[in-house]
Chains A and B, each alone.
Chain A
Amino acid sequence: MKKLINNPSDVVNEQLLGLAAAHPELHLSLAPRYVCRKDIPQGKVAVVSGGGSGHDPLHCGYVGFGMLDGACPGEIFTSPTPDQMYECAKHVDRGAGVLFIVKNYTGDVLNFETSAELCKMDGIQVQCILIDDDVAVKGGGHTSGRRGVGLTVLAEKIVGAAAQAGYSLGACADLCRRINQNGRSMGVALSSCIIPEAGETTFLLDNDEIELGIGIHGEQGVERRCMASVDILVELMVEHIFSDPEYVRVAREMNSASGEWEDVQLVSTPFSRGESFIVLVNGMGGTPPGELYGVYRKFAELCDEKGVSIKRNLVGTYISSLEMQGCSITMLRADDEMVRLWDARAVTPGLCFPSCDDVTSCGTSNAD
């Protein structure tokens, strides 16, 4: 293992200290561990997410104007604990409540729900909305359901913009739930990642093998097969997304009136001709930007053939899996409101919108 690290058990804290040093506009707490904005306006809904570390820039890299107000990083690939989200929520709440965006992993869900109960006891309004977009997980009813992957990036951008624009907690939650029900993702791995504390690859792939449907922690996908050209791999991923049938599952949300948990049925209907999308072609950490554009070329061509329209796109490494080689494709069936919020200004270490030619947001001199 060759990594730019010191002691493997210090990796997360040391990297966060670096993030905070590079971005003095962020506040870092190490005990309990969270990153948050320093300049959250009064009366704004706070948007908070979190999860295991190792997926940079997700989530800490998306803390800033127009996206997240706080992020709670766990150890590498391990859920954060409830005290982190609880303290972070207390720190970022400006009286309008806190929305937790939670990727669907058992540990994340249980820890966020526990912290939501702690917040409620303190009189902080709080809601948990699940992201579960990975179509590689089949037979959702008999498992813990689909994993939360690339759609999380789009949700954090769009819901963050909504909160910045003054949406209420209920409206932010409704929007986030709608995003989740309209998003699907599929990934592929060409090589495994290495967790620093483990020191060796999480899974083994032969030189000519790939894992189709890989999870962001190296979880098994739908098929291990031989390596193929980018065109063939993109066709396979896109086929999984478009052939995905209606997906029905039950999520647990907090009833805003009673403060009790209640089961909410979520339905994702299949994608079809004529619909409009915001898409993400995402690198897993070890794939160069050029290859991602190679993926995008074929992906855009296939979308054209299928008669769907790409309204907005994002190509780059936005939710990674340490140094894993590979990519994922995320499609969000987007309405006008989502597209409008997508275009809204955001200034975070990991993502700047609408572009980096605004002097006040990104410090370049192109100010005409």
Chain B
Amino acid sequence: MLTKKNVLIWFEKSADAMAEHKQELHLLDAAIGDGDHGINMNRGFGKLALELPVMGAMTLQEIFKHAGMVLLSTVGGASGPLYGTLFLKGAATVGTSEALDASAVLTFFDAGVEGLVARGRTEENDKTMYDVWAPVLREYELCLEAEMEFVEILAACVCAAEVGMKATIPMLARKGRASYLGERSIGHQDPGATSSYYLINALYESIRE
């Protein structure tokens, strides 16, 4: 089950990860984008971490909505609306639930990622964060069908996320600023795919504990 408490720990761990990997994300973005991804993600998730005390008193749906709005208004760049949309669209599936079971978590991410794809007009192999989310959702569905435990499902998703992230290295970018580099975008890992990996890994860690 994903409880309110897990979600708050997830956000806290995400903020830690974005702070820890700020320079790595910066360098990945500087190579094929405009170099602000590390700064932007750290600013946005840092702000989210500051909001945790306030969010403790909210319902689960309000927590996700609030997270979406915070990311939307503080991350900036292209990632702000993408991550913001993921949480806002996901929040709409939560209803009055105070905790999500494994199946409801999939519903949450399906809706969130659908929103992300619609916003970014992206397809797989465009060298974007969707190249992490698409295989992660496929893996999640398979694990759910195999009736695996929630924590095991998430562990499998982290592996799928890592494979997806690394698979962006040989890709030719077709979206965002990297797309202007054409062939020169090949050989670099996508920064958005990398921050998505850290977000998924933080979710796993929040459940594992």
Q: Which residues of A are in contact with B by a Cβ distance under 8 Å?
A: 32, 74-75, 77-84, 105-107, 110-111, 113-114, 137, 139, 142-144, 217, 219-220, 252
Complex contact B175–A144 (CB within 8 A) = yes
Q: How far is the CA of A106 from the CA of B78 in the complex (A)?
A: 6
Smallest beta-carbon distance B22→chain A, Å: 14
Q: How far is the CA of A143 from the CA of B185 in the complex (A)?
A: 11
Question: Which residues of chain B (65-89) have a CB below 8 Å from chain A?
Answer: 69, 72-78, 80-82, 84-85
Complex contact B74–A81 (CB within 8 A) = yes
Quick one: closest A residue to B120, CB to CB?
A110
Complex contact B179–A82 (CB within 8 A) = no
Complex contact B179–A144 (CB within 8 A) = yes
Complex contact A114–B77 (CB within 8 A) = no
Q: Which residues of the partner chain B approach A217 to less than 8 Å between Cβ atoms?
A: 34
B contacts with A: majority SS = helix
Q: Which residues of the partner chain B approach A144 to less than 8 Å between Cβ atoms?
A: 175-177, 179-180
Q: How far is the CA of A77 from the CA of B72 in the complex (A)?
A: 18
Q: How far is the CA of A8 from the CA of B120 in the complex (A)?
A: 31
28 residue pairs A–B, Cβ–Cβ below 8 Å = A75-B76, A78-B76, A79-B77, A79-B80, A80-B76, A81-B75, A82-B81, A83-B72, A83-B73, A106-B78, A106-B177, A107-B80, A110-B78, A110-B80, A111-B81, A113-B81, A113-B119, A114-B72, A114-B84, A114-B119, A137-B180, A142-B182, A144-B175, A144-B176, A144-B177, A217-B34, A220-B180, A220-B181
**8 Å CB contact of B180 from A32, A110, A219:** A219
**8 Å CB contact of A79 from B74, B78, B120:** B78
Q: How far is the CA of A32 from the CA of B182 in the complex (A)?
A: 36
**8 Å CB contact of A142 from B74, B77, B81, B179:** B179
Greatest chain B CB density within 10 A among A78, A82, A84, A106 is at: A106
Q: How far is the CA of A219 from the CA of B182 in the complex (A)?
A: 13
Q: How far is the CA of A219 from the CA of B181 in the complex (A)?
A: 10
Smallest beta-carbon distance B53→chain A, Å: 20
The size class of the interface chain B forms with chain A is: 20 to 34
Q: List 11 other contacts, CB 8 Å, given A106-B177, A107-B78, A144-B180.
A: A78-B36, A79-B80, A81-B72, A81-B80, A82-B81, A84-B73, A106-B175, A107-B76, A110-B119, A137-B180, A143-B179
Complex contact B77–A78 (CB within 8 A) = yes
- Nearest first, the 9 closest Cβ-Cβ pairs linking A and B are A143-B179, A83-B73, A110-B81, A114-B81, A106-B78, A107-B78, A107-B77, A106-B176, A81-B73
Smallest beta-carbon distance B48→chain A, Å: 14
Task: Report the number of A-B residue pairs with Cβ-Cβ less than 8 Å.
Answer: 73
Smallest beta-carbon distance B41→chain A, Å: 13
Q: Which residues of the partner chain B approach A143 to less than 8 Å between Cβ atoms?
A: 174, 179-180, 182
Q: How far is the CA of A80 from the CA of B74 in the complex (A)?
A: 9
Q: How far is the CA of A81 from the CA of B175 in the complex (A)?
A: 19
Q: Which residues of B are in contact with A by a Cβ distance under 8 Å?
A: 34, 36, 40, 69, 72-78, 80-82, 84-85, 119-121, 174-177, 179-182
Greatest chain A CB density within 10 A among B72, B75, B119, B180 is at: B180
Q: Which residues of the partner chain B approach A114 to less than 8 Å between Cβ atoms?
A: 72, 81, 84-85, 119
Q: Which residues of the partner chain B approach A252 to less than 8 Å between Cβ atoms?
A: 121
Complex contact A77–B78 (CB within 8 A) = no
Quick one: closest B residue to A142, CB to CB?
B174
Q: How far is the CA of A142 from the CA of B77 in the complex (A)?
A: 21
Smallest beta-carbon distance A260→chain B, Å: 11
Quick one: closest A residue to B85, CB to CB?
A114
**8 Å CB contact of A139 from B74, B85, B182:** B182
Smallest beta-carbon distance A245→chain B, Å: 19
Quick one: closest B residue to A136, CB to CB?
B180
Complex contact A82–B73 (CB within 8 A) = yes
Smallest beta-carbon distance B179→chain A, Å: 4
Greatest chain B CB density within 10 A among A74, A107, A220 is at: A107
Smallest beta-carbon distance A29→chain B, Å: 14
Q: Which residues of the partner chain B approach A83 to less than 8 Å between Cβ atoms?
A: 69, 72-73
Q: How far is the CA of A111 from the CA of B177 in the complex (A)?
A: 15
Smallest beta-carbon distance B29→chain A, Å: 12
Q: How far is the CA of A139 from the CA of B81 in the complex (A)?
A: 26
Q: Which residues of the partner chain A approach B74 to less than 8 Å between Cβ atoms?
A: 81
Quick one: closest A residue to B36, CB to CB?
A78
Q: How far is the CA of A198 from the CA of B52 in the complex (A)?
A: 31
Q: How far is the CA of A114 from the CA of B85 in the complex (A)?
A: 8
Q: Which residues of the partner chain B approach A74 to less than 8 Å between Cβ atoms?
A: 76
Q: Which residues of the partner chain A approach B34 to less than 8 Å between Cβ atoms?
A: 77, 217
Quick one: closest B residue to A105, CB to CB?
B177
Q: How far is the CA of A105 from the CA of B34 in the complex (A)?
A: 12
Q: How far is the CA of A104 from the CA of B75 in the complex (A)?
A: 19
